């Protein structure tokens, strides 16, 4: 099975481990992510004012490339997903903005793309039962807090699951043999772009998320958002430095632990082995293999 794929800017630069782990782990499940032949930045944030039609041009052009690739596009980054999904929804329902943008981009058919997050692909096309069947290294005993953040659940018409009581992330973790942690802050905001201007606020918001997950027994926290990943890691570093706290909650991308469960080596998945990395936790749980032959994968098991 092949699925058109939009990596976005961040996964092509500072979050390459996220991209690489996704491509390999999904390949182990018999799915090939085919990168769009031409793509540009999605714009990161969906334009909220109706007058800002030009703000839809960036994501609109990505959707045009998706139409050329067959009308479906998958993505990993929560922000990319949210922006593309909301843009597609808007162009489908708002004839005025669709016509203006179609004229500007010299195209038609806008609003007809199916925008999917990779978790949706795993749930609806591979199936979590199919994922479970491919697991060769069950993550038994590993308690993982699934962090949705803002962009996967809001607004409701762009949510990958029920916006108030989602379970897609938890079902994914259960398929890997991990224990999903029940915790209250899984949909709270980490501070997002305020990391550039309000670092103390972001540290407080992210610290609250980390403390909540730890208090509920999490060994790891997993996310699909590179900005959330950055804020949580950097805030934790600041908390350890400024407040002298000693407990660490490693943060990891969901595709990295997917690959690990499918038999990939932690190094190939970009899983860090260090104080702030997940290596120490995985070793304590017996999930860090001493050596994994090159090219081994759950898909070949």
Q: What is the mean pLDDT of residues 188-212?
A: 94
In terms of DSSP H, where are the helices of 122-167?
128-134
Q: Residues 203, 252: one domain?
A: yes
Q: Considering only residues 296 and 242, tell me which one the structure prediction assigns the higher pLDDT.
A: 242
Q: What CA–CA distance (Å, rounded) separates 173 from 204?
A: 27
Q: Residues 212, 253: one domain?
A: yes
Is residue 125 a part of any domain in this protein?
no
Q: Considering only residues 191 and 292, tell me which one the structure prediction assigns the higher pLDDT.
A: 191
Q: What is the mean pLDDT of residues 277-291?
A: 88
Q: Which residues of 262-295 are buried (b: 16+ CB within 10 A; e: fewer)?
A: bbbbbebbbbbeeebbbbbbbeebebbbeebeee
Residue 254: domain span = 136-300
Q: Residues 178, 282: one domain?
A: yes
Q: Residues 68, 214: one domain?
A: no
Q: Collapsing DSSP states into helix, strand and coil, what is residue 137?
A: coil
Number of domains within the chain: 2
Q: Considering only residues 292 and 206, tell me which one the structure prediction assigns the higher pLDDT.
A: 206
Residue 276: predicted pLDDT:
79
Q: What is the mean pLDDT of residues 257-282?
A: 92
Q: What is the mean pLDDT of residues 210-215?
A: 97
Residue 291: predicted pLDDT:
54
Find the helix packing angle between 78-93 and 226-243, rounded to 10°.
140
Q: Quick one: what percent of the chain has pLDDT higher than 70?
A: 96
Residue 196: predicted pLDDT:
83
H/E element, 6: strand 2-6
Is residue 129 a part of any domain in this protein?
no
Beta bridge partners, 117, equal 75
Q: Considering only residues 295 and 237, tell me which one the structure prediction assigns the higher pLDDT.
A: 237
pLDDT at residue 298 above 70? no
pLDDT at residue 44 above 80? yes
Q: What CA–CA distance (Å, rounded) separates 258 from 261?
A: 5
95: CATH? 3.40.50
Q: Residues 6, 79: one domain?
A: yes
Domain boundary among 70, 88, 118: 118
The predicted-structure confidence for 68-127, as pLDDT tens digits, reads as follows: 999 999 999 999 999 999 999 999 999 999 999 999 999 988 999 999 999 999 999 999
Q: Considering only residues 207 and 294, tell me which one the structure prediction assigns the higher pLDDT.
A: 207
Q: Would you say 165 and 182 are in contact if contact means Cβ atoms under 8 Å apart?
A: no
For residue 297, give both structure tokens: 């994968």
User: pLDDT-based confidence at 57, cuts 50/70/90?
Assistant: very high
Q: What is the mean pLDDT of residues 138-161?
A: 97
Q: What is the mean pLDDT of residues 125-131?
A: 99
Residue 247: predicted pLDDT:
75
Task: Please give the mean pLDDT across all residues of the chain.
Answer: 93
User: pLDDT-based confidence at 274, cuts 50/70/90?
Assistant: confident
Q: What is the mean pLDDT of residues 219-248?
A: 92
Q: Residues 57, 143: one domain?
A: no
**DSSP for residue 223:** E
Q: What is the mean pLDDT of residues 166-191?
A: 98
Range in 20-29, 41-50, 130-139, 152-161 with the lowest mean pLDDT: 41-50
Is residue 128 a part of any domain in this protein?
no
Short-list 266, 272, 269, 265, CA closest to 296: 265
């Amino acid at each position: 099975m092949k699925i058109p794929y939009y990596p976005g800017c961040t996964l092509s630069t500072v979050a390459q481990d996220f991209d690489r782990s996704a491509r390999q782990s999904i390949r182990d499940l018999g799915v090939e992510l085919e990168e769009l032949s031409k793509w540009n930045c999605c714009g990161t944030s969906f334009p909220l004012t109706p007058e800002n039609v030009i703000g839809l041009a960036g994501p609109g052009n990505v959707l045009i490339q998706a139409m050329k690739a067959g009308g479906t596009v998958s993505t990993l980054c929560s922000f990319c997903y949210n922006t593309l999904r909301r843009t597609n929804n808007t162009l489908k329902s708002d004839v005025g903005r669709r016509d203006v943008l179609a004229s500007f981009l010299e195209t038609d058919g806008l609003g007809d793309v199916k925008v999917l997050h990779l978790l949706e692909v795993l749930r609806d096309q591979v199936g979590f039962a199919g994922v479970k069947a491919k697991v060769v290294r069950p993550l038994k005993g590993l308690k993982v807090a699934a962090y949705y953040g803002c962009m996967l659940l809001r607004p409701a018409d762009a949510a990958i699951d029920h916006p108030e009581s989602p379970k897609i992330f938890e079902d994914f973790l259960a398929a890997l043999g991990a224990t999903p942690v029940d915790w209250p802050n899984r949909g709270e905001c980490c501070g997002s772009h305020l990391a550039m201007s309000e670092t103390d606020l972001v540290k407080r918001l992210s610290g609250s998320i980390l403390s909540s997950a730890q208090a509920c027994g999490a060994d790891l926290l997993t996310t699909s958002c590179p900005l959330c990943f950055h804020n949580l890691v950097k805030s934790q570093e600041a908390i350890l430095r400024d407040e002298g706290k000693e407990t660490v909650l490693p943060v990891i991308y969901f595709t990295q632990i997917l690959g690990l469960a499918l038999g990939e080596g932690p190094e190939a998945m970009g899983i860090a082995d260090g104080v702030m990395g997940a290596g120490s936790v995985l070793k304590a749980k017996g999930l860090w293999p001493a050596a994994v032959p090159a090219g081994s994968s759950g898909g070949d098991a």
